[in-house]
Amino acid sequence: MSSGRFEIRMLAKRGDARGSLVVAEAGRECPFPVARVYWVFGTQAGVRRGFHAHHRTRQMAVCVSGACTFLMDDGAHREELRMDSPDSALMIEPGVWHEMSDFTPDCVLLVLADAPYAESDYIRDYAEFKKLVSQ
């Protein structure tokens, strides 16, 4: 479940008879200051998303509803991870190619990032990614 460049972390689930609560504070459960938050939802059946890595951005992904599968590739290790619990977080370090697939109809994927959006931070060509990580 981990290559050192990506890992699943369990988040503390709190609650009682009324329901559950999960907290992700910057510097605690989320190991970096959060500069951007986005969520993916309404993904159509059979659609794959992602297809990129980042030069510098760190991310924490939580499937807050439903489920999806991540294909994670750090250049040396490729692994598929099923995200299906709102109390688990996938930590994605820079230099990790990731693709998402197999979204359930109710999937809501929340992502916390340590940097604002910058197109120059994205590596969108897999051949370029492989070349960069082999250096």
77 is catalytic: no
Question: pLDDT tens digits for 82-135?
Answer: 999 999 999 999 999 999 999 999 999 999 999 999 999 999 999 999 999 988
pLDDT at 3 over 70: no
In degrees and rounded to multiples of 5, residue 75 shows phi and psi of 95, -25
pLDDT at 15 over 90: no
CA-CA distance, 60 to 53, in Å (whole number)?
14
Residues 73/132, Cβ–Cβ less than 8 Å: no
Share of the chain above pLDDT 90, in %: 80
Annotated catalytic residue within 52, 54, 77, 98: 52
What is the dotted CATH code of the domain comprising 6-12+25-133? 2.60.120.10
Token pair for residue 27?
């510097």
Token pair for residue 49?
């998303």
Averaging pLDDT over each range in 13-17, 23-27, 29-33, 117-121, which range is the top one?
117-121
Q: So what's the pLDDT on residue 83?
A: 97
- DSSP E strands: which ranges in the chain? 6-10, 13-16, 19-22, 36-41, 49-54, 59-65, 68-73, 78-83, 88-92, 97-101, 108-113, 122-123
Residues 79/109, Cβ–Cβ less than 8 Å: no
Mean pLDDT score, 37-48:
96
- Global confidence as pTM: 0.91
